[in-house]
Every structure is written in C-alpha cells, then in structure tokens.
Amino acid sequence: MFHINHTSDLLFGGGFGLEKESLRINGQGYFARSAHPFPDSPYIVRDFCENQLEINTGVSPDAEGAIRELEKHTEEVLRVLDSLDEPEYLWRFSNPPYIKAENDIPVAQFTGKLLDKTIYRNYLSKAYGKYKMTLSGIHVNYSFSDELLQKEFALSGERNYRDFKDSVYLHLAKNLTVYGWLVTLLLASSPLSDSSYFTRGELGKDAFVGMASVRCSEIGYWNNFTPILDYDSVHSYAESIRDYIHRGLIKSQTELYYPIRLKPKGENKLETLEENGINHIEIRNVDLNPFEFAGLDLRDLKFIQLLILFSVCQPAFQLTKEVQKNAVNHFKKAAHYDINSTLITMPDAQPESIKNAALKILDRMDTFFKDISADAKEIIAYQKDKLLIHENRYAVKVLKQFSDGYVKKGIALAKNTKSPCLNDH
C-alpha cells in the first residue's frame, strides 16, 4: 500500500494513544467500595464499574512518550489511592482478585447529562454478566502521521485526500484482522484467576483453565455472534455494524467487542466516522503486564507499531465470510496456553501450530524491516524469544510466579509497586 522506497524516513512517525483499565482494591484483595476518587480528571475516568479505573493518555508522537505519560498518570493514581483514609491499590492483572458477590461490582454511577452511561452499563451487566466486565486490559490507538499520509497521497495519483486516507486505514484493518492475533499470542499475561471468578462464592483458590489470556479467549470478552464486517468503504463498514444494531444484537458500536476497530476523531459514533472519516485504528487485545509499572512493556508497544506498518504494506486479504470467521477464531486460539498443539489455518495455507505460524510471520517482518530500521530487528527478536524459549512468555512467568496464592501474591505485588524510575525499558 505504501511506497516504502520513497517514504521510509516518515514511516515511524505516528500518534500513540493508550487506554488502560485497572481495578481498585483494598488491602485484603477485595474490590474497593469507595466512589471514584478522580471526579474531575479528564485522563483518569471510570470504565464499567465504579471501582474500575481507566487511564486515557493524550496522543504521543512515539511509543516512549506514550509509555511515559501512562506511567505519569499511574503514579498520580497511586499517590491519591495511598492518601485515602483507607488506602487502596491498583490490581496489576487483567483477571480480577476475590469477588464475594455481584454487589462487589457496582455499575459506574453517572448523573445528569451522562445518565445514559449508567443505563448502558446496566444493560451490559444483564447481557454479559458483571463478572466478565471486570476483566481489564489496554487498548492501543494508533494513527499515521499526516506528513506520511500526505506524501503517500501525492505518490498515489489519487484525487481526494480524505478518500485516500480512509482507504489506507481500511486496507490496514483488513490485514490486521488476519495478522492481529499475534498481539494476543505474544502479550498474553493472564493465565490465573481466583476461583471466585468461575465458581460464585468460592474464594481463595487458584484457577487455571488452559488459557494464557482469559479475557481474549473464547470465554472472555466477545459478542454472542461472530461479526462479519464490510471493509469496502467507510460507509459500508459503518453499515455492517449498524446492521447488527438494527437486528438487536448490539446496542451501539461500542458494544462490538472486536479486537480491531476503526475510529473517528472525537466522539466514537458511526455518524462521526462517516462524516469525518477514519482518524486512527484501535487494537484492543492487550493484557495488563503485571511485570511492568505501567502495565505495558515499551518493546511490546513498539512491536504493535511494527505489526501495523508491516500489515499496511502487505497486499490486502480478501475478507470473505469464511476468512473473517477463521480470523476471529484465530484471535481466540491465540489466547490458549498451549501454543504447540493449537492449530490455525492462515489464508491460502495449511493447518499448522499457532507457534509456527507466528514464527513465519515474524521472519517475514524481520526481512521487511531489514533495510528500514535497525531497532526493528531487536524488537522482533524479543518477540521470537517468547516463542522459542517457553519460560520467556509472560503467561508462563505469571503461572510460575503467582501460582499457589494468586490473589495473596497479587496483593503483595500491588502494595510493593515501585516507581518507573526503577524500570529499565
């Protein structure tokens, strides 16, 4: 899609925006019961429940800046939580700690003009259950720089910049639908749960159900149907989502629990997308990394950028109904703990282990970036080592270090969270 020989100097200029969900807990590992302690912050808001924080960064021109801002807001959260009359902590995992009962999960309370947000959350609690809504993660938003898009537009011979820009993101979304499962596979960090998540009222036992990421697996955050989307144009994309709304399968586009989303600038509405065009792409299948202060390793964020750039430069896949169904299934399979016997079938390929399929794509990425970025080789090698050395996978590390007391050890980790100045990215 891009003319790499002419625009490689602009390729890595982009915009990063991060959204991180985390649960507030007390010192015993139960959900905090206090009201949201950041009522006036535009960066620290509530997600589904009152005790589920969401940190939203601004847009940074590089991955380092995005991580720094996420760390800065995380530090602010910890300072405020520590200053409360009854100190609270941020839970570091995607899977929740102890859940005594559903009333531990109070729906976020909005009033006045924002009352519809609470009404919508009450609907979600009935449609999916409150327990599932406590699963937390990170969404990565990425936009290409205007300088890159303008130069590519000039080289493309197209007449309308808005149409060209939309076509770039639609092309990217098609290919990330097929390649995006690598993010789940390589960043999965949530193999352990407390028994209370699966067995109501049974607290304090570790639960491992064969998943490296519960929230990204088939028992995690998904709609009750497999969406088939139309990427031919912005309008057809919006209409394919609108069709599920009209059929009563979802209430709005925000309920489409798909790992890849195309989004407009400003309010996330289909009408805004059609009117103003695509502003950025959102990648939603990132687990909280408990080994990182901010919940996200810089090398992993850089890898996501590499995957985006690689994907947009590849020929577009033909996303038939069958290809899309397989693609969704691949996202779910990538969340499995066993990557050697879990099989997938990429388009125009034979069934193979998801590990081998991933290594082949990483090899292709290595070749692609060979003469473009020296940094890329190191980032891709870091991801390969997770597959080649079993103990390097985050899920394996979590299972090893936090078994035999997942919540108790998680509480200790939360209480001993250190400043990012001690981290070496």
Indicate which CATH number applies to the domain containing 9: 3.30.590.20
Domains: count for the chain: 1
CA-based nearest residue to 305, from 109, 17, 111, 6? 17
CA 18 – CA 70 distance, rounded (Å):
7
Euclidean distance between CA atoms 332 and 355, whole angstroms: 14
**Residue 224: predicted pLDDT:** 93
> 246 lies in a domain?
yes
- Residue 303 within a domain: yes
Q: How far apart are CA 18 and CA 185, in angstroms?
A: 20
Position 407 in a domain: yes
Whether 425 is in a domain gets the answer: no
- Contact (Cβ atoms closer than 8 angstroms) between residue 211 and residue 331: no
Domain membership flag for residue 227: yes
Structural domain for 268, as ranges: 4-420
- 146 in a structural domain: yes
pLDDT, tens digit (0-9, with 9 covering 90-100), for 91-146: 999 999 999 999 999 999 998 999 999 999 999 999 999 999 999 999 999 999 99
Structural domain contains residue 201: yes
Whether the per-residue pLDDT at 421 is higher than 60: the answer is: no
Q: In 10 A of CB 37, how many CB atoms?
A: 16
Residue 147 resides in a domain: yes
What is the average per-residue pLDDT within 317-336? Answer: 97
Rounded percentage of the chain residues whose pLDDT exceeds 90: 93
Residues written for the chain: 425
Mean pLDDT across the chain, nearest whole number?
95
Alpha helices in 61-207, H assignment, sequence order:
63-83, 115-128, 130-133, 146-156, 161-179, 181-187, 195-198
pLDDT digits 0-9 by tens, 360-403: 999 999 999 998 998 999 999 999 999 999 999 999 999 999 99
Spell out the alpha helix ranges (H) of 190-334: 195-198, 234-246, 270-276, 298-312, 321-333
Reported as a single tens digit per residue, the pLDDT across 50-104 is 999 999 999 999 999 999 999 999 999 999 999 999 999 999 999 999 999 999 9
Residues 6+ apart with CB under 8 A from 15: 59, 60, 61, 141, 142, 143, 144, 145, 280
Residues 292-315: tens digit of each pLDDT: 999 999 999 999 999 999 999 999
